[in-house]
Protein backbone atom coordinates (compact mmCIF):
# COMPACT_ATOMS: atom_id res chain seq x y z
CA UNK A 1 0.00 0.00 0.00
CA UNK A 2 1.33 3.43 -0.93
CA UNK A 3 1.00 5.85 1.95
CA UNK A 4 -0.60 9.26 1.47
CA UNK A 5 0.64 12.36 3.27
CA UNK A 6 -1.79 14.53 5.24
CA UNK A 7 -0.77 18.23 5.08
CA UNK A 8 -2.97 19.20 8.02
CA UNK A 9 -1.53 16.46 10.24
CA UNK A 10 1.98 17.42 9.22
CA UNK A 11 1.38 21.09 10.09
CA UNK A 12 0.27 20.40 13.68
CA UNK A 13 3.86 21.12 14.80
CA UNK A 14 4.71 23.49 11.96
CA UNK A 15 6.78 25.86 14.11
CA UNK A 16 8.93 23.08 15.54
CA UNK A 17 9.41 21.46 12.14
CA UNK A 18 10.19 24.83 10.56
CA UNK A 19 13.03 25.89 12.84
CA UNK A 20 15.65 23.56 11.28
CA UNK A 21 14.77 24.92 7.83
CA UNK A 22 15.42 28.48 9.01
CA UNK A 23 18.74 27.51 10.56
CA UNK A 24 19.77 25.61 7.44
CA UNK A 25 18.88 28.54 5.22
CA UNK A 26 20.92 30.92 7.38
CA UNK A 27 24.11 29.15 6.30
CA UNK A 28 23.43 29.47 2.57
CA UNK A 29 25.54 32.35 1.30
CA UNK A 30 23.81 33.01 -2.02
CA UNK A 31 23.41 36.76 -2.56
CA UNK A 32 21.20 37.05 -5.65
CA UNK A 33 20.32 33.63 -7.07
CA UNK A 34 18.21 33.46 -10.24
CA UNK A 35 16.74 30.01 -9.77
CA UNK A 36 15.89 28.42 -6.41
CA UNK A 37 14.33 24.97 -6.00
CA UNK A 38 12.88 23.28 -2.91
CA UNK A 39 12.92 19.48 -3.35
CA UNK A 40 10.31 17.89 -1.11
CA UNK A 41 8.49 21.15 -0.44
CA UNK A 42 5.58 19.60 1.47
CA UNK A 43 2.70 22.03 2.06
CA UNK A 44 4.85 25.00 0.99
CA UNK A 45 4.86 26.87 4.29
CA UNK A 46 8.67 26.84 4.34
CA UNK A 47 9.19 27.32 0.61
CA UNK A 48 7.55 30.69 1.13
CA UNK A 49 10.64 31.71 3.12
CA UNK A 50 12.80 31.16 0.04
CA UNK A 51 10.67 33.59 -1.97
CA UNK A 52 10.82 36.12 0.86
CA UNK A 53 14.62 35.92 1.13
CA UNK A 54 15.21 36.11 -2.63
CA UNK A 55 12.23 38.01 -4.05
CA UNK A 56 13.88 38.46 -7.46
CA UNK A 57 14.51 34.74 -7.92
CA UNK A 58 12.35 32.19 -9.71
CA UNK A 59 11.36 29.88 -6.85
CA UNK A 60 9.93 26.39 -7.44
CA UNK A 61 8.67 23.80 -5.00
CA UNK A 62 8.52 20.11 -5.93
CA UNK A 63 6.99 17.23 -4.03
CA UNK A 64 5.90 13.69 -4.89
CA UNK A 65 2.70 14.11 -2.87
CA UNK A 66 -0.17 15.57 -4.86
CA UNK A 67 -1.99 16.42 -1.62
CA UNK A 68 0.99 18.43 -0.37
CA UNK A 69 1.39 20.27 -3.68
CA UNK A 70 -2.32 21.08 -3.83
CA UNK A 71 -2.11 22.81 -0.46
CA UNK A 72 1.21 24.46 -1.34
CA UNK A 73 -0.27 26.18 -4.38
CA UNK A 74 -1.98 28.68 -2.08
CA UNK A 75 1.49 30.16 -1.35
CA UNK A 76 2.01 33.27 -3.51
CA UNK A 77 5.10 33.89 -5.61
CA UNK A 78 6.14 30.24 -5.94
CA UNK A 79 5.46 27.65 -8.63
CA UNK A 80 4.66 24.21 -7.24
CA UNK A 81 4.64 20.93 -9.15
CA UNK A 82 4.35 17.21 -8.44
CA UNK A 83 7.70 15.54 -9.13
CA UNK A 84 9.87 12.70 -7.88
CA UNK A 85 13.28 14.02 -6.83
CA UNK A 86 14.88 10.71 -7.85
CA UNK A 87 14.16 11.40 -11.52
CA UNK A 88 13.86 15.20 -11.51
CA UNK A 89 16.13 17.12 -13.86
CA UNK A 90 16.00 20.91 -14.21
CA UNK A 91 15.91 22.58 -17.62
CA UNK A 92 19.05 24.44 -16.59
CA UNK A 93 21.25 24.39 -13.48
CA UNK A 94 19.82 26.05 -10.37
CA UNK A 95 21.62 28.46 -8.09
CA UNK A 96 20.19 27.19 -4.80
CA UNK A 97 18.88 23.66 -4.31
CA UNK A 98 17.26 23.00 -0.93
CA UNK A 99 15.84 19.77 0.48
CA UNK A 100 14.37 19.79 3.97
CA UNK A 101 13.56 16.55 5.81
CA UNK A 102 13.05 14.64 2.55
CA UNK A 103 16.17 12.65 1.61
CA UNK A 104 15.65 10.27 4.55
CA UNK A 105 12.71 8.82 2.59
CA UNK A 106 14.88 8.01 -0.44
CA UNK A 107 16.65 4.63 -0.11
CA UNK A 108 20.21 4.90 -1.34
CA UNK A 109 20.13 8.69 -1.36
CA UNK A 110 23.91 8.86 -1.03
CA UNK A 111 24.04 7.68 -4.63
CA UNK A 112 21.66 10.50 -5.58
CA UNK A 113 23.80 13.32 -4.17
CA UNK A 114 26.35 13.48 -7.03
CA UNK A 115 23.51 14.01 -9.51
CA UNK A 116 21.97 16.72 -7.31
CA UNK A 117 25.35 18.46 -7.28
CA UNK A 118 25.36 18.30 -11.10
CA UNK A 119 22.04 20.15 -11.11
CA UNK A 120 23.58 23.12 -9.26
CA UNK A 121 25.21 25.93 -11.22
CA UNK A 122 28.94 26.60 -10.68
CA UNK A 123 29.35 28.52 -7.43
CA UNK A 124 25.79 27.58 -6.40
CA UNK A 125 24.54 25.95 -3.24
CA UNK A 126 23.11 22.59 -2.20
CA UNK A 127 21.57 22.58 1.28
CA UNK A 128 19.67 19.82 3.03
CA UNK A 129 18.58 18.68 6.45
CA UNK A 130 17.59 15.17 7.55
CA UNK A 131 16.51 13.68 10.88
CA UNK A 132 19.21 11.80 12.75
CA UNK A 133 17.05 10.37 15.53
CA UNK A 134 16.38 6.86 14.25
CA UNK A 135 17.68 5.17 17.39
CA UNK A 136 15.42 7.22 19.64
CA UNK A 137 12.46 5.48 21.35
CA UNK A 138 9.91 6.92 18.91
CA UNK A 139 11.51 4.94 16.07
CA UNK A 140 12.71 1.93 18.05
CA UNK A 141 9.23 1.36 19.49
CA UNK A 142 7.59 1.68 16.07
CA UNK A 143 9.95 -0.82 14.49
CA UNK A 144 9.61 -3.31 17.33
CA UNK A 145 5.82 -3.13 17.47
CA UNK A 146 5.48 -3.35 13.68
CA UNK A 147 7.58 -6.53 13.74
CA UNK A 148 5.20 -8.22 16.20
CA UNK A 149 2.22 -10.33 15.20
CA UNK A 150 -0.41 -9.74 14.03
CA UNK A 151 1.04 -6.51 12.56
CA UNK A 152 4.18 -7.88 10.88
CA UNK A 153 2.36 -9.45 7.95
CA UNK A 154 1.08 -6.01 6.92
CA UNK A 155 4.08 -3.83 7.78
CA UNK A 156 6.91 -5.86 6.25
CA UNK A 157 8.68 -3.76 3.65
CA UNK A 158 6.78 -0.59 4.47
CA UNK A 159 8.57 2.71 3.79
CA UNK A 160 10.72 3.86 6.69
CA UNK A 161 13.06 6.85 6.96
CA UNK A 162 16.82 6.55 7.39
CA UNK A 163 19.84 8.85 7.06
CA UNK A 164 23.53 9.23 7.91
CA UNK A 165 25.67 11.35 10.20
CA UNK A 166 27.14 14.69 9.08
CA UNK A 167 30.62 13.22 8.60
CA UNK A 168 29.32 10.85 5.90
CA UNK A 169 27.73 13.63 3.88
CA UNK A 170 30.75 15.90 4.36
CA UNK A 171 33.17 13.27 3.04
CA UNK A 172 31.04 12.49 0.00
CA UNK A 173 30.41 16.09 -1.03
CA UNK A 174 33.96 17.24 -0.31
CA UNK A 175 35.08 14.38 -2.55
CA UNK A 176 33.03 15.98 -5.32
CA UNK A 177 34.96 19.23 -4.88
CA UNK A 178 32.36 21.09 -2.82
CA UNK A 179 33.10 23.34 0.13
CA UNK A 180 31.04 21.75 2.87
CA UNK A 181 29.59 22.93 6.18
CA UNK A 182 28.04 19.99 8.05
CA UNK A 183 26.75 19.83 11.61
CA UNK A 184 24.15 18.34 13.89
CA UNK A 185 21.78 19.74 16.49
CA UNK A 186 19.54 18.03 19.03
CA UNK A 187 16.37 19.99 19.70
CA UNK A 188 14.38 19.49 22.89
CA UNK A 189 10.81 20.01 21.71
CA UNK A 190 8.41 20.64 24.58
CA UNK A 191 5.07 19.25 23.45
CA UNK A 192 1.62 19.60 24.99
CA UNK A 193 -1.71 17.87 24.74
CA UNK A 194 -2.79 14.24 24.80
CA UNK A 195 -0.27 11.78 23.35
CA UNK A 196 1.78 14.57 21.74
CA UNK A 197 4.67 12.33 20.63
CA UNK A 198 2.22 10.10 18.80
CA UNK A 199 0.70 13.18 17.16
CA UNK A 200 4.18 14.18 16.00
CA UNK A 201 5.31 10.83 14.61
CA UNK A 202 1.96 9.91 13.08
CA UNK A 203 2.34 12.86 10.73
CA UNK A 204 5.80 11.80 9.53
CA UNK A 205 7.93 8.75 10.28
CA UNK A 206 5.19 6.43 11.55
CA UNK A 207 2.57 7.34 8.98
CA UNK A 208 3.44 4.68 6.36
CA UNK A 209 3.41 1.96 9.02
CA UNK A 210 0.04 3.02 10.38
CA UNK A 211 -1.50 3.32 6.93
CA UNK A 212 -0.31 -0.15 5.95
CA UNK A 213 -2.57 -1.75 8.55
CA UNK A 214 -6.18 -2.70 7.82
CA UNK A 215 -9.15 -1.32 9.76
CA UNK A 216 -9.43 -2.93 13.17
CA UNK A 217 -5.78 -3.90 13.32
CA UNK A 218 -4.76 -0.27 12.82
CA UNK A 219 -6.65 0.78 15.94
CA UNK A 220 -4.99 -1.96 18.00
CA UNK A 221 -1.57 -0.87 16.78
CA UNK A 222 -2.23 2.79 17.52
CA UNK A 223 -3.49 2.07 21.05
CA UNK A 224 -0.40 0.00 21.91
CA UNK A 225 1.94 2.46 20.19
CA UNK A 226 0.49 5.34 22.21
CA UNK A 227 0.87 3.39 25.45
CA UNK A 228 4.52 2.57 24.78
CA UNK A 229 5.29 6.15 23.73
CA UNK A 230 3.70 7.49 26.91
CA UNK A 231 5.99 5.22 28.94
CA UNK A 232 9.07 6.29 26.96
CA UNK A 233 8.20 10.01 27.03
CA UNK A 234 6.47 10.67 30.35
CA UNK A 235 4.85 14.10 30.66
CA UNK A 236 6.26 16.63 33.10
CA UNK A 237 4.66 19.75 34.53
CA UNK A 238 6.23 21.82 31.75
CA UNK A 239 5.17 19.40 28.98
CA UNK A 240 6.43 16.29 27.23
CA UNK A 241 10.03 16.58 26.01
CA UNK A 242 10.87 15.06 22.63
CA UNK A 243 14.63 15.09 21.91
CA UNK A 244 15.15 15.33 18.16
CA UNK A 245 18.58 15.15 16.53
CA UNK A 246 18.90 16.65 13.05
CA UNK A 247 21.77 16.64 10.55
CA UNK A 248 22.51 19.70 8.41
CA UNK A 249 24.63 20.02 5.29
CA UNK A 250 25.39 23.13 3.22
CA UNK A 251 27.67 22.61 0.22
CA UNK A 252 28.92 25.20 -2.25
CA UNK A 253 29.63 23.78 -5.67
CA UNK A 254 33.00 24.73 -7.25
CA UNK A 255 32.81 27.86 -9.39
pLDDT > 70 fraction of the chain, expressed in percent and rounded: 94
Q: What is the SS3 assignment for 157?
A: coil
Strand 240-252 to strand 120-131: parallel, antiparallel, or no bridges (unpaired)? antiparallel
More confident residue, 207 or 167: 167
Assign 139 a pLDDT band (cuts: 50, 70, 90): very high
The Cα 215–Cα 46 span in angstroms is: 34
Q: What is the SS3 assignment for 120?
A: strand
Please answer whether residues 18 and 75 qualify as being in contact, where contact means their C-beta atoms are separated by less than 8 angstroms: no
Model pLDDT for residues 84-113, shown as the tens digit of each residue: 999 999 999 999 999 999 999 999 999 999
Please answer whether residues 201 and 142 qualify as being in contact, where contact means their C-beta atoms are separated by less than 8 angstroms: yes
The pLDDT of residue 17 is 73
Assign 81 a pLDDT band (cuts: 50, 70, 90): very high
Which domains can be identified in the chain, with CATH numbers?
A: 7-252 (3.40.50.150)
The Cα 42–Cα 66 span in angstroms is: 9
Tell me how far CA of residue 35 lies from CA of 44, 93, 113, 208, in angstroms: 17, 8, 19, 33
Model pLDDT for residues 186-216, shown as the tens digit of each residue: 999 999 999 999 999 998 889 899 999 999 9
Assign 150 a pLDDT band (cuts: 50, 70, 90): very high
The pLDDT of residue 14 is 55
Judged against a pLDDT cut of 60, whether residue 159 lies above it is answered with: yes
Please answer whether residues 85 and 68 qualify as being in contact, where contact means their C-beta atoms are separated by less than 8 angstroms: no
The pLDDT of residue 29 is 97
The pLDDT of residue 205 is 82
Q: What is the mean pLDDT of residues 159-179?
A: 96
Please answer whether residues 32 and 54 qualify as being in contact, where contact means their C-beta atoms are separated by less than 8 angstroms: yes
Residues 6 or more apart whose Cβ sits within 8 Å of residue 17: 10, 101
Amino acid sequence: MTHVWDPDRYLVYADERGRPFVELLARVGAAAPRRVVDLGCGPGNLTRLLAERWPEAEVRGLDSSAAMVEQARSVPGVRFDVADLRSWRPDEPVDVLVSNATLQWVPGHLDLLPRLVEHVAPGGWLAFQVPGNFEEPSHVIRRALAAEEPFAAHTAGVAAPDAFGPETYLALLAGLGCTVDAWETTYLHVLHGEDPVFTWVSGTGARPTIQALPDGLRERFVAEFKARLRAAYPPARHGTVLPFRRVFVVAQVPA
